[in-house]
Amino acid sequence: MRPQAHTASGLLVWSFSSRAPWEAPVQVVAASLPDFDRQIAKALGVERRDHHRWVSHSFAGWFPPTAAVLYASRGSRHRAVVQRAAACVWIHLLLDTYADGLAWLWPVHKEKIGLFRKPAWIRDRGWRTPAPANTNMGRAEAAMWLGTAANMLRPRR
């Protein structure tokens, strides 16, 4: 998925919550966390950066930190925010599974497991990656942006 889609997913989760302004960037950063591997790989000089086949896009890479953070937040007044942030990370992984697949079973199996494959003509160029409305990726992203907008228009409870 494109970074825009992960941003939209974080805002969508936030729009279902209390909508405290300070929580929005927390959810957006959490929704983007698995993609920070691109910057880490670049800093390390890794030439082949197919990040959907790395630990950062796998069950083994995110289950331990998720469990630790949820455990550590027990009793905290910000527990709900932490839970939503953890959900955003896993939503990121599910969206990437939907769009093009992930190496869910890394390190045992490094091939992608997913629902769809993005069309060959779409090259992953981060923020400049196209997501036409006639693709699964484009439709999913549009649905998240529309859902966020609809939630923002509904009155708060």
Q: Which amino acid is at 99?
A: A
- Name the residue ranges covered by the structural domains of the chain: 3-119+131-153
pLDDT range class, residue 40, cuts 50, 70, 90: confident
For position 141, what pLDDT does the model report? Answer: 86
Query: In angstroms, rounded to a whole number, what is the distance separating the alpha carbons of residues 5 and 143?
Result: 10
Predicted structure pTM score: 0.86
Six-digit token string for 65: 């930190």
Average pLDDT over residues 141-149: 89
Q: What 8-state DSSP symbol labels residue 26? A: H
